[in-house]
Structure 1
Amino acid sequence: MPWRTRKTQEHEATAAALRELPPDQELGALRARVAELERLIAEKNLEADALREIGQAIGSMLNIDEMLKRVADIVTKVTGTDLCLIYLLDDDAKELVLRGASGSTKDVVGKIRLKVGEGITGWVAQQGTHVVLNREAWRDSRFKPVPFFSQDSYQSMLSVPLRGNNDLVGVINVRTNPPHEYTKVQISLLDSIARQVGGAVENYNQYRRVEQRASRLSALSEISRTITSDLYLEEILQLIVAMTAETMNFKICSIMLLDESKEELVIKATQSKSRAYTKKPNVKLTESVAGRAVIEGRPITIRDVRKTPGYQYPDIAKKEGLCSLISLPLMVKKEIIGVLNCYTATPHDFTEEEINLCTALANQAAISIQNAKLVVRTAVLQEMHHRVKNSLQTIASLLRLQVRMGKFESPKEALTQSINRIQSIATVHELLSNENLDDVSIKRLADNILSATARGLLPDARRVNLSVQGEDFLLPSGQATYVALILNELIQNAVEHGLKGNIGHELIVAVSRDEDYITVEVINDGEPLPPDFDPRRSRNLGLRIVESLVRDNLLGEFTLTSENGWTRSVVRFPR
C-alpha cells in the first residue's frame, strides 16, 4: 500500500474515533493530537535541518578529514550527545581507522585502529547492524577499551554502520557521559546521517581510486619515457624509485642489482634519506626475502618484516618505521638483473591490482636499466679507439724512456720487460670488456697481473706464495690502467731484487680504501733494501716509472721501505 494512502487512512481513522467521543473529551483529545503532531513536525524539522547541514558540509569541503570533523560536530549537536566518532575501513577492508571526531579529540584521529569484529565498533562493521547501549556500555561482552579515551567516563553508546550504495565503508558512534535512553527518532536520525555520509565516503573512495589509477598510469608513462632518454643509469634509477614511492604511497622504495659473481644484491638507488638504510650491507640471495624473489622469479610479499624469520635487518625496519614489503624481480628476456623493494609504514595486504602495477613498474625499470647499460657499452665502444690510442702512446713513452735510461744485460731482458708492460695494459682492457660497467675490479686486476708477472719471472723450481688481500672494489678505467702498470713494475721489482736466490717465500698485493684514499701495497719477505736506499734517487727504470705515474697521473704518493723482515712498496692516491 502506498505511503500516502496508508497515512490518509490513519488520519481518517483518528478523526472518526475523535467524533465518537463526548464533546468535553473530544477537545482534550484534539489538543493532545495537535501536540503530538507538533512534536513530530519538530522532529522532522530537526532531521531535515541536520541532513541539510550534513549535506552542506559534504558539498563544501573537498578534504575528507575536514568534512568528517564537521559532520561529527553536527551530529553531537543535533543528537544531544557528548561525543561522536567516525571510523572508516582501510584499503584492505580489514581495519577501521578513526578518521573523524567531535570536540577536542582531533589529536587522536588516525591513531586508533580496530580490526573488523573487534570491540563494539568492529562488531557493527562485521554484522552490518546498529547497537544501542543505554547504560554501562563497558559491561557489554563485545566492549573493548580504546587507547586515548577514558572508558568509564561514559555510560551510553549508539553505533551505526556507514553504508554506501554498494558496500559498508565504516561506522559512526555517539556517546553520552550519563545514562541515556536513545529514542527511535535519534536512532532513525543517526541512521539517515550514516547513509548520507556513507554515500559521500563511497564517492570519495571511488574518486580516490580513479585518481590513483590515473597517477599510476602517469608514472608508468613517465618511466617509459626514461627508457629512451639520455639520462645516466644512476639518474634513471633514482627517478624510478622516487616516482614509485610517491605514486604508490610507499614509505621506502629501493632498487638492488644482482652481483652474480658474489650471489649478492647491492642497493643502487633509493629515495630514502636514512643513512642506516642506504648503508646496510649487501644481502645474499639465499639469506634474504629479496633473494627469494630472484631465485623464485616472482613477487614476494611480507605483511610485517619486523616479525618475519629470515628478514635480515629487523632492527633497521623498526628504526625506519617499515612494515609490509613487496619484493619484485627485475626481469629482461627471462634474465633477472635485480629487485625492486617497496615498503609500507603500516601492515598492508597487497591487492592483485597493486601487485600487477608494481610488476609493470619493475619490468619498466628492468628495461630502463638494460637500456642504460647498452648506452654505456655503446659509449665504451665509441671511445675504444681513443683508449687504445692513449694506451699505445703510453707504451711508446715507456719504450722511449727504456731506450734512454734502461740498462739490460741482453735484448731478451729488454723485450721481456716491454712485453710485461704491454700485458699490464692489455689486462685492463680485457677486464673492461668483461665488466658490465665502465669500471674494473681491483682484486681481479691485481690477481691477473700478479699471476702473469711473478710466474713469468720466477724460476720453475722457485716456490713463492702469491696472494691478493683486502676488500674488493671498483676502479674507474682510467685509474685502472695506471694501477696495472704500477703493479707490474712493483711486482717485477720485488721478484728481481727481493726474492732473488732462495730468500723469501711470500709475495703479497694488499688493497684497501677509506673515505678519501685508495692504498695499494706490494709486500715481500725477501732481501731487504740497503740501509741508505732512496727510491727517488734510484736509477732503477721501473721505480722511476712508478714514481712518475703515481705523482703525475694519480696525484698520489709512493714509498718503499724495509722493516721487520718485510719490504713494502706503498702507493696511496685520492679516490
Structure 2
Amino acid sequence: MAASIDAYQREIGPTAGQGTESRDGVLSSPLERLSALHRISQSATASLDLDSMLMTVARVVRETLGCDACSVFLFDPSSDTLVLRASIGLNPGAVGRITLPLGAGITGEAALRREVVPVVDAVSHPSYVDYPLLGNQPYRSHVSAPMALRSPDRLIGVINLMTIEQRTFDSEEVAFIETAAGEIAVAIENALLYSETDAELHNRISQLSTLRQMSRLIASTLDLPQVLELVSRQAAELTRGLAVEIYKAHPDDEHPPELLSHYGAGDDVLTDRVRHQVRGMVDEVVGALGTVERSIQVSPGQRVEVMALPMLTGRRAVGAICVYSEKHLGDDPEFHGMLHAFSDSAAIAIENAELYDEARRGWQRTSALLQEMHHRVRNNLQTVAALLSMQARHASSSEATVPLYEAVGRIRSIAAIHDVLSSGSISETTVGVIAKHVTDEASITTLPPDTRISFDVDADDVWVSSREATVLALLINEFVSNAFAHGFSDRSEGRIEINARVSDDVSVVEVKDDGAGVPDGFDPGETSGLGLQIARTLTESDLDGSLSITRRPEGGTAVRVTFRSRRLPEDTIT
C-alpha cells in the first residue's frame, strides 16, 4: 500500500510537508493566513459542481497547509454516516466506498464532538482506525476539522489533513483550519443547494415532458388498452412510484370500482387486502372530487403510501389514478397541481377511447343488422323473381314473356347487390364485383340458350357506395340485356367488355359489345323503350350523371355512364 501512496504522490507532485517535522513560519503572519484563506475560499466557490469543487478544495488546502494528503467526508443525515467524497494523496478508488458512523475513527470523533481534533501520532490515538482501502497507513500526523453551519447548526462533513512525517499543528494553524472548514462548509452547502435546484429543474422538465406526451397521446390513439398502458406507465414515471393503477367508477354505486390497468409492483405489495382499501379510497375520491392520501399496511413492518387522484371530465369523476409509493409524495402545491393536470388529461384520453370503443361496437351491431337486412331483402327479391319466372313460363305469348323475364333480370340484379352487401362491406363495393354478379345473373336469366357470350370485366379499382352499387347493377343489367336482345339477335356468339375508371372523383363506367351496333346518330333521349327510359332516369336522377350511347368504329355499341362519386375516402369504421 505504501508503494501505492507513493504513486498517488508522484501524480500530485511534491509537497512542502515532506521531510519536515514542523511548519513554523508557513502561516506565521496574519497577512499570510488571510491570503491562504482567500485562496481556499476561491477554490471552494470556483465551481458549483460538487464533486469538482471538493477535489479542488482538497488540493488547495493540502498545498496551502503544506500537508501530504487531504480528504473530504460529507455527512449523510438519512443514515447518520460520513461518506468519503474526495481525496488527494490517498487511494482515489476509495471515494464513495468508505463510510464512517459518527464517532468512528478520528474523523468520526471530530464530527461527533464538532471540534477540530489534531493528532501528532495518529496510530497511537485511541480512536485511530486503519482503512486499507483508503491507504492511510503511511501517515503519522492527522488533523480532522468538522465542517458545520452555525445558523442553523448543522453538520456538513469533515475535512482531514495528513502528513507522512510527524508534525505538530500549533494553535494558530488549528484556528486557521477551523475557520477554513467553516468557509468550505458554506461553499459545500451552496453547491448542494445548486445540485438540488438543478435536479428539481430537471425533474420539472421531465414532468412537463410527460404532460406534453399525455397531450399528444390524446390525439394520437383511440385504442383503449394502449391508452391505459401509456397512462399507467407515464404516471409511474411522473411520480417515481412503486406502482400505478387506474380504476373506473360505476355510476350506479352498486358495484365496486373496476380495475382497468396496472403498472409496476406485483401481488407481493398489492395484496387483495390493500386493493380492498384502495377501492374504498376510489369511492371517496369520486364522491369528494378531490385527492385522498393514505398509508396502508402491506405486512408487519411494511407500509405503502397511496395517493388517489380523481380523473375529472366536466363535473364528474370517471375514476381515479392510484399511485403507490414507498414514501409520502410531498405537499408541494406545484407538484400536486401537475398531478391533477395529468389525471385530468388522462381522463380525457380514456373517455375519448371509451367513446370510440362504444361507437365501434355500435357500428359493429349496426353492420350486423344491416347485413341481416340485406340478406332478407335478397331472399325476398329472389322469391319475387322466382314467382315472375314461373309466371313467364306459363305465359301464352311472347308479348307477355319478354317483359316478365326483363323484370326478373332487374330484380335479380338488385338481389345480387344485396347478396354482395350482406357478405362483405355494407357501405361500399367495386364496379368489378357488381359487373361480375350482374353478368352471371343475366347469363342465366336472359341469355338465349344457343348463344355464347364472353365477358371481359376490368373495374376492380373503382369503388362506389351501396346506393350507387344498386343503381349501377340495374344499369349494367339493362345494357347487357339490350346487347343480348338487339346486338346479338342474329348471332350465336359475341363479346361484352365492362370497364371503369375514376379521375378527380369523376367515375366512368363503360359497357361495350361487338354486336350489330346502334344506328348512326342514335339519340337515347328520343327512344321510347322502357329499358332505356329506366337507364336514363337512373343515371340522371339517382347518379346525377350523364348517359351516352354510340356506335363503335369497329362495330358494336358503346354505352358510357359518367357521374361524380359520393363515396367518402374513409366511410367505414374498422
TM-score by length of 1: 0.46
RCO greater where, 1 or 2, for CA within 8 Å and sep 6 or more?
Answer: 2
Larger radius of gyration: 2
